[in-house]
A and B are shown apart, each in its own frame.
Chain A
Amino acid sequence: DVVMTQSPLSLPVTLGQPASISCRSSESLVYSDGNTYLNWFQQRPGQSPRRLIYKVSNRDSGVPDRFSGSGSGTDFTLQISRVEAEDLGFYYCMQGTHWPYTFGQGTKLEIK
């Protein structure tokens, strides 16, 4: 299975400051159709995961533009330009290129 490794696992942040989460895959996530199926999810306490970003950098409808995704191959990043209180929770990367599709172990975004 493709192993997805996130860092850091815990990210203390100051409100209004930027934050960045790294996700590395054990194999390239470029599919034979040329697409890279790397997604980012947010999970607030007591809620189910919510997709924020799909195919590396495509932001979902309703997701604030302070969230952005980038990367290629095996190295990906989720950036939050200015953290707000509603952003606190867990963030997961997930690859949909190689079956079985797999998730990162999660990064907890919390107040410093």
Chain B
Amino acid sequence: QVQLQESGPGLVKPSETLSLTCTVSGGSISGYYWTWIRQPPGKRLELIGFVYYTGSTTYNPSLKSRVTISVDTSKNHFSLRLSSVTAADTAVYYCARSPIFPDYWGQGTLVTVSS
């Protein structure tokens, strides 16, 4: 059974960079697309972007200038970096497999942007 686990700081200061890692267990990261999804409080879920195991990426145009998603197949994990964060970036961040129809999800991690 594939399992995903997000890790990273739960508190980030405004204007700094949010960094999260998603570790995949129970299966290989190779051969699949992997995605980051977030849910701000009281708002709908939003797809941030996704990465193929080869490293190819696609980003949501609304966040493209600030987002970097990368993959490390040797560690079986992929990562999210979101720069110049503001309070609007406060959300539960999920990692998942397969952006077109996400089947496996992490438990989610709350990231709060505050000084």
Please give the residue numbers on chain A whose beta carbons come within 8 Å of chain B beta carbons, in ascending order.
Answer: 37, 39, 41, 47-51, 54-55, 60, 92, 94, 96, 99-106
Contact = CB atoms under 8 A, between A and B. Distances in A.
Of B45, B47, B58, the most chain A CB neighbours within 10 A belong to B45
A100 B60 contact: yes
Contact of A60 (B44, B100, B103, B105): B103
B27 to A, nearest CB: 15
Interface of B: 44-47, 58, 60-62, 94, 99-103, 105-108
B101 A106 contact: no
14 contacts: A37-B100, A48-B105, A49-B45, A49-B105, A51-B102, A55-B101, A94-B45, A96-B99, A96-B100, A96-B101, A99-B58, A100-B62, A102-B46, A104-B44
A103 B61 CA distance: 16
A74 to B, nearest CB: 18
Nearest to A4: B44
Contacts of A47: 107
B101 A54 contact: yes
B111 to A, nearest CB: 15
Given A92-B45, A103-B46, A51 B103 contact: yes
Nearest to B101: A54
B50 to A, nearest CB: 9
Closest A-B pairs by Cβ, 4 of them: A96-B100, A103-B45, A54-B101, A48-B105
A100 B61 contact: yes
B94 A48 contact: yes
Chain A CB within 10 A, most for which of B94, B101, B102, B108: B101
Contact of A105 (B44, B106, B108): B44
B47 A48 contact: no
A99 B106 CA distance: 22
